[in-house]
A and B are shown apart, each in its own frame.
Chain A
Amino acid sequence: MRDEHLPLTETTFYILLVLNQPLHGYAAMQKIRQLSHEQVKIAAGTMYGAIEKLLKLRWIQEVPSADQRRRVYQLTDSGRIILKLETDRLRELSRLAADFNY
């Protein structure tokens, strides 16, 4: 039985991926932009909403930081599990596509 939260949106996937290290929202946006070669540009309102949602799902958590103005987040254990499940799903898709010579 597949987890009800899968598949993840591209935005969610990227955020979880970059939050393997502790980052604040804007740093995560910058990092995603860089990792995706400017293909994925998450805007501020979308980022804020996504963070709220991921905090509620407990896939990320706030971690203490020296920055007074920005909250810093990191992946939780359940976040890691969901990221693993999604990666397995994508890997399977990719393998399947390869069978069809793509």
Chain B
Amino acid sequence: MRKYKIFWSLATEERWLNQVQAAGFYLTAVNRLLHQYTFRQLSHSTSFQPKVCLDFQKPLSWRRYQDYCQLFADSGWQLIQGSRFGGIQYFQQSYQAADQEIFSDEQSRQANWRRDHEYARRYSIIFLSEAILFRVTHASATGLDLTFDFRQWYLTPGIWHLQGFSFWKAFLIETPFVAFRNLSMYLFLIIGLYYLARSLYNGGKFAKS
């Protein structure tokens, strides 16, 4: 079973994953880019309903990441999805007697949310300034015109007056550059706004240290 869903905080994502699991499924894979979650049905013979917990990590060296995963594995948490380059690490409880939580005190639980929050804030700044940079460089080439007219995206002089083969040649040659300049701007804008929303949503959830 595949599900697509966007979350604004670790807490809501974790809650939703465990709700789905409680209905007789277990998480097998996560695609962060597509926001895609893959579940499989629990076998009827088992009464064990595993729990999923999310930890947010900064980038770690290969050795530290291995030690990190091993510590969780020793404690009964199997890594479903994660990367040593940072981000959300999805852990699944591997046996019934294992701990119910990956955090045993409130401070470390909040420190986890804070890591996610700071990462989201940093990424919103990076992506939004990229989007603005693209817009400004585009504006300096064409003049600041905020109307949505894709013909303005093409910079070849007189391209829209060309005919037949010479038009298509100029059009096809320039299209990749246009796509790169403009669509990446919108992509950065969307990603930037996603992280901005995420950092703002998370911001009210915990006390500042």
Contact = CB atoms under 8 A, between A and B. Distances in A.
Interface of A: 9, 11, 24-26, 29, 41-50, 69-71
Contacts of B112: 45, 49
Majority secondary structure of chain A interface residues (helix, strand, loop or mixed): helix
B70 A70 contact: yes
Nearest to B63: A71
B99 A50 contact: no
B55 interface: yes
Interface of B: 53, 55, 63-64, 66-68, 70-72, 74-75, 77, 99, 101-105, 107-108, 111-112
A45 B53 contact: yes
Contacts of B68: 48
A29 B102 CA distance: 12
A66 B64 CA distance: 16
A49 B111 contact: yes
A29 B76 CA distance: 13
B70 A43 contact: no
Contacts, number: 61
A71 B67 contact: yes
B75 A43 contact: yes
Nearest to A51: B71
A41 B74 contact: no
Contact of B77 (A24, A25, A44): A44
Contacts of B101: 43
Contacts of A11: 104-105
A41 B104 contact: yes
A29 B105 contact: no
B75 A69 contact: no
Nearest to A68: B66
A3 B53 CA distance: 36
Contacts of B108: 45-46, 49-50
A38 B165 CA distance: 80
A24 to B, nearest CB: 8
A9 B104 contact: no
A43 to B, nearest CB: 4
Given A24-B67, A24-B71, A48-B71, 17 more contacts: A11-B105, A25-B67, A26-B70, A29-B75, A43-B75, A43-B102, A44-B75, A44-B99, A45-B55, A45-B72, A46-B102, A46-B108, A47-B71, A49-B111, A49-B112, A50-B108, A69-B66
